[in-house]
Amino acid sequence: MKQRLLFTLLLLAASLVATSCATAPLSPTTFEPAVSQALPEVPTDPEAVIPTDPAIHTGRLENGLTWYVRRNAVPSDRVELWLVVNAGSVLEDEDQRGLAHFVEHMAFNGTRDFAKQELVKYLESIGMRFGADVNASTTFDETLYTLTIPTDKTEFLEQGFKILENWAAHISFDPEEVDKERGVVIEEWRLGRGASARMNDRQFPVLFQGSRYAERLPIGKKDILETATAETLRRFYADWYRPDLMAVIAVGDVDPSRLKELIRRHFGRIPAAAAPRERPSFPVPPHAETLVAVATDPETTDTSGSVYSKLPARRQDRVGDY
């Protein structure tokens, strides 16, 4: 009886809901016509070079430095500044193994306009955080410095470009500061010497056989890191930190003409190298036979296998490349 009564009540409730839905007046609905936007004309010829985004401004200074500028309003009151140096660990001389990375560290330990820790203190004083807003990295082929600068004050943008200029041409390499930073770099080397690194030591000479990449890991060699002098660091810096091997990228909530003016002012006064050392390339040679590397380590926690196919470098600037 109770179940029948419950069932009856449920039916009644359902009918009331259905009636309510059926008799409720509908709200008038209006539809806005879609606004059609003409898409930019895309070339279809496979050999056609993909055009550069017209919003990107690019150029080259008389000293050889290349620059790229673009306005981007999101996030507001911010600009991203990058200094890209076309030089990494593969360019190190035999007595410089690991010094491309060491130079990157020294950029934060004294320059012409920012003595010792002044640079770090200034960036922190305007709310910038290392890792998130300030960073740098060194790879085989390049070294990259990045700043995310607040632009709500004119001074911040000016100082951001001054910092990039100091990294590009005015790192001090004070011997005392070099010795202080040496321990930090060696500790990074030590922390990186886990199972993965030890197995890479056996795989890379096979994977990059016949190329300098096999013996120029960015972290370098401990004995060189322990003994390298300020003068040896300066030699790498003088050889490879030069305008014709650099690019500056500025993107953010700032008028592009303002960014271009700051680039010309800060980087146009850096002199071109008088007798530039040739920047070589180090291709990985092909081979007919199958090469095999087997690496084990007591600390590894899994087993994996990889198959690599070496292919010639290809162009990536034409429609047909995609």
Residue type, 190: R
Q: In the structure encoding, which two tokens stand for residue 118, read together?
A: 């002044």
The residues carrying an active-site annotation are 104, 181
- Residue that the structure tokens 């560290």 belong to: 105
What is the distance of C-alpha 275 from the center of its chain?
Answer: 29
Under 8 Å between Cβ of 161 and 83? no
Contact 61, 122 (CB under 8 A): no
Q: Whose structure tokens read 């890209």?
A: 84
Taking the C-alpha atoms of residue 176 and residue 182, their distance in angstroms, rounded to an integer, is 10
The pairing of beta strand 78-85 with beta strand 56-60: unpaired
Which residue shows structure tokens 């690599």? 308
Helix (H) or strand (E) holding 199: helix 195-207
Query: Cα 57 to the chain's mean position, in Å?
Result: 20
**Residue 220 φ/ψ, nearest 5 degrees:** 80, -165
Contacts of 296 (CB under 8 A, 6+ apart): 199
